[in-house]
Amino acid sequence: MLTIRQMRYFEALATTLHFGRAAEMVHVSQPALSAQIMEMEKHLGVTLIERTRSGTLLTRKGLEVLGHIRSILAGVDRLEEAARYGSGTLDGLLRLGIIPTVAPYLVPKLVPFLRRAHPLIELELKEAVTGRLVNDLSEGKLDAIIAALPIEADNVVSKSLFTDRFYMAMADNESDVLLSPMTETEVDPERLLLLEEGHCLRDQALSVCKAANKRSLVNFGATSMTTLLQMVSHDMGLTLIPEMAIETETARNAIRIVPFADPQPSREIGLIWRRSSPRRADMEALAEAIVASHENEKGRA
C-alpha cells in the first residue's frame, strides 16, 4: 500500500527534479527518499523516474501518477486543516503570502495588531511576486495571499481590503519641475524606472504612464521598491510609488512626492484564498485585522 509519506516524497522529487533538494525539502536523507521512491515504483509496477546523467525526469506514467498524488495530498491537507482549525478564529498556524510592494509597509503594522487581537495565532509569512504566491496558494502551501486585484486564477475567493493611490516619486534635487497635481501624459517615459518583470507594480506603472509600447524606457529592473527609490533619490529617474509606501520611503530617501490629478490612479489591495478552504471565518477575521491595522496607521499619519 502506498503511504502519505511516499506521496509527499514523490511530490517533492517531481517539484525539484533533484534527489538531494527533494530530500532537503522533506527533511530526510537522500538514500531514505530514494528507497521510498523505489518502493513506490515496485508497488505500482511502473517506472516513475528516469535517472539520466544530466538530471532526473518524470516518465509519462510518472506525470500521470503525479496528478493523482497531488489531488490526494490536497485532500489530506484540507482534512488536516479542517481538524486543526475548527476550535477558534485565527488560532494556530496561518501561512500568509504578501507581494513585495505591500509586505514592507503592511507587515510592521499587521503583525503586532494580530498578536494583540489573536494571541494564539502562529503566523508564517512569505514574500514573493503574485504569480509565485498564486501557485503556492493553489498547491496548498499558503492559506491566503495579499496582492493587487484582480487575480486571474481558478478556485479562489478574493475580498477587497483598501485602495492604494499612486504618486510620482522624483529626486528631491530634481531640476525638472513637474506640475502638481500632474497628469499621466507629463511623465517622461525615458526617465521612468521600473521593477523587474513579474512584479504587478511594473505593469501598473506602464499602464498609468501610458508607456507600455515605449522603446525608450530605462532598461533596468529593480528587485525591490527600496532599491528603486534609492535610484530615484540619486536622480537616476522617476518612478511610481504607492501611497502606503510614502511615509517609510520619504523618511529614508531624499525624494519628492508629486500627486496625480483626479481621477488619481490607484490599485486595489485584496485578500485571496482558496474557494475550497474550510477557513472562511479565519479569512474574514484576517481581512478585518488587515483593514484595521492599515486604517489605524493612516489615522496616525
Residues 171 and 258 grouped into a single domain: yes
Residues 147 and 284 grouped into a single domain: yes
What CATH number does the domain containing 168 carry? 3.40.190.10
Residues 105 and 177 grouped into a single domain: no
Cα separation of 210 and 187, whole Å?
9
Residues 140 and 275 grouped into a single domain: yes
In order along its 301 residues, the chain shows pLDDT tens digits of: 899 999 999 999 999 999 999 999 999 999 999 999 999 999 999 999 998 877 789 999 999 999 999 999 988 877 776 666 555 688 888 999 999 999 999 999 999 999 999 988 999 999 999 999 999 999 888 999 999 999 988 889 999 999 999 998 988 876 555 556 767 666 777 778 877 766 677 777 777 666 444 444 454 566 788 888 898 898 888 888 999 999 999 998 889 998 988 888 899 999 999 998 888 999 999 999 999 999 876 655 5
C-alpha grid cell, residue 72: 490526494
Nearest to 112 by CA among 298, 299, 296: 296
What CATH number does the domain containing 42 carry? 1.10.10.10
C-alpha grid cell, residue 172: 528631491
pLDDT of residue 240: 85
Residues 132 and 155 grouped into a single domain: yes
Residues 248 and 201 grouped into a single domain: yes
Residues 77 and 171 grouped into a single domain: no
Domain endpoint, select from 52, 84, 116 = 84
pLDDT of residue 237: 84
Domain endpoint, select from 60, 84, 108 = 84
Residues shown for the chain: 301
Residues 42 and 109 grouped into a single domain: no
pLDDT of residue 212: 44
Residues 75 and 137 grouped into a single domain: no
pLDDT of residue 63: 93
Residues 158 and 172 grouped into a single domain: no
pLDDT of residue 76: 85
Q: Quick check: 184 and 208 in contact, CB under 8 A? A: yes
Q: Quick check: 173 and 254 in contact, CB under 8 A? A: yes
Domain that holds residue 180: 164-266
Residues 210 and 78 grouped into a single domain: no
Q: Quick check: 238 and 170 in contact, CB under 8 A? A: yes
Nearest to 176 by CA among 163, 166, 164, 191: 191
Residues 192 and 255 grouped into a single domain: yes
Domain endpoint, select from 37, 68, 84 = 84
Nearest to 248 by CA among 228, 265, 226: 226
Number of domain units in the chain: 3
Q: Quick check: 120 and 249 in contact, CB under 8 A? A: no
pLDDT of residue 177: 55
